[in-house]
Amino acid sequence: MEPILKVKNLKKYFPVKKKKLFERRKYLKAVDGVDLEVYPGETIGLVGESGCGKTTLGRTILKLYQPTEGSIIFDGKDIAKIRGKVLKDFRRQAQIIFQDPYASLNPRMKVKQIIEEPLIVHGYSRDEREKIVDEIMESVGLNPEHKFRYPHEFSGGQRQRISIGRTIALRPKLIVCDEPVSALDVSIQAQIINLLEELQDTYKLTYIFISHDLSVVRHISDRVAVMYLGRIVEIADKKEIYEKPHHPYTVALLSAIPIPDPEKERNRKRIILKGDLPSPINPPSGCRFHTRCYKAKERCAKEEPKLVEVSSGHSVACFYPENT
């Protein structure tokens, strides 16, 4: 099958404010050479620690940020440099759901206006819009009678439903879900995850699902990509990556998640990483993870490992992978 999205060597650098007048301009390398293929109908989970570049990657793929380098092939066309009408057409097919159900809805617009907005932008008639808004509200589990209410009259979970409604109004093919449940209570998380799964079945959606919660990602994804400091360090089918993680970072990440089962929890071996995520302005030499890695050898500080496929569909960027 042809991928719906093919990202090659994608980079996004943000200029850093100069502290001194004659300093050389520095760049924060938020995304620094990402290759990724996404197939129609699948959910690809994107995990990694805070600040590793997940959001930036998601937004750059959607051209909310102009890429610094690299190509983004969507449906066979490179969209990295498109503008105007072609860009608008792309926007109809690729959408985003944000993390914060409070900041992502305009507090001054009624629910109907919010869901209708993309339809207006893309020139739907009044009657069509009327019909679609009702349909959408039902399908995201909101009562269409509430369409004249403002976002503040809804709970966090319901607001995320509104936000999802706006996203699917144009029937996009690809949706970047940027931590759509992280701000929600555990009991509400499950409602939204189920909703996303139902919508995927109904509308044949493709998801890039960003989260730092590996349990949520395990549940919803078909494949999982692990990011570290602007790079993808491991990518594999869900089952593979959770059962046979290769990259020491993935192993540490998986071991760090507490499991709600006291017996299992007590008998688990935990790998405690030293230190924090290094700065993306001056990433470490060689393998970016070597400063925190429990397996690091001399070579890791000098040479940079490439992301290579070690078994079918399972790629890892490490000289000394685990479980192989």
Partner 1 sequence: MAILKVENLKTHFFTEEGLVKAVDGVSFELERGKVLGIVGESGSGKSVMSLSIMKLIPYPGRIVEGKIYFDGKDITQANESEMQSIRGNRISMVFQDPMTSLNPVFKIGFQLVEAVRVHKKVSKKEALDMAVKILKEVGIPDAEEAINRYPHEFSGGMRQRVMIAMALINDPDILIADEPTTALDVTVQAQILDLMNRLKEEFNSSIILITHDLGVVAEMSDEVIVMYAGRIFERGSVEDIFYKSRNPYTYSLMRSLPRLDVDQKRLQPIKGNPPSLIRLPQGCPFHPRCELAKDICKKKVPELLKVGTNHYSYCHFAAELEFNGGKVGTHS
Partner 2 sequence: MEPKELEVIEEIEKLEEKALISPNRQILNRFKKNKTAVFGLIIVVILIFVALFAPFIAPYKYDEVNYSESLKPPSSKHLLGTDILGRDIFSRIIYGSRVSLEVGIIAVAISVIIGVTLGLISGYFGGWVDALIMRLVDITYSFPFLLFAIAIMTILGPGMINVFIAIGIINWAWFARVTRGSVLSAKEQEYVLAAVAMGASPGRIMFKHIMPNVIAPVIVGAALNSGYAILAEAALSFLGIGVQPPYPSWGLMLSDARNYISTAPWMTIYPGLAIALTVLGFILLGNGLRDAIDPRLKI
Ligand X SMILES: Nc1ncnc2c1ncn2[C@@H]1O[C@H](COP(=O)(O)OP(=O)(O)OP(=O)(O)O)[C@@H](O)[C@H]1O
Q: How far is the CB of 57 from ligand X (least distance, A)?
A: 7
Residue 50 interacts with which of Mg ion, partner 2, ligand X, none, CB < 5 to 8 Å by class: ligand X
- Which of 212, 219, 244, 295 is in the footprint of ligand X by CB under 6 A? 212
- What is the pattern of x (binds partner 2, CB under 8 A) and - over residues 159-198? ----x--x---x------------------------x--x
Q: Is 134 an interacting residue with respect to partner 2 (CB under 8 A)?
A: no
- Which of 21, 262, 267, 298 is in the footprint of partner 1 by CB under 8 A? 262
Residue 28 interacts with which of partner 1, partner 2, ligand X, none, CB < 5 to 8 Å by class: ligand X
- Inter-axis angle of helices 156-168 and 186-203, nearest 10: 20
DSSP H or E run through 59: helix 54-61
Sign of torsion over alpha carbons 124, 130, 135, 138? positive
Residue 30 interacts with which of ligand X, Mg ion, partner 1, none, CB < 5 to 8 Å by class: ligand X
Task: Report the residue number, 49 or 117, with the smaller CB distance to partner 1.
Answer: 49
How many residues would you count in the chain? 324
Q: How far is the CB of 98 from ligand X (least distance, A)?
A: 11
Q: How far apart are CA 75 and CA 6, in angstroms?
A: 9
Do residues 9 and 33 touch, judged by C-beta distance below 8 A?
A: yes
39 closest CA partner among 89, 90, 75, 63: 75
φ and ψ at residue 72, rounded to 5 degrees: -130, 105
Torsion of CA 178, 184, 189, 194, to 10 degrees: -60
Q: Is 8 an interacting residue with respect to partner 2 (CB under 8 A)?
A: no
Residue 315 forms beta bridges with which residues? 235, 309
Q: How many residues bind partner 2 (CB under 8 A)?
A: 33
Chain residues in the site for ligand X (CB under 6 A): 14, 28, 30, 48, 50-56, 212, 280
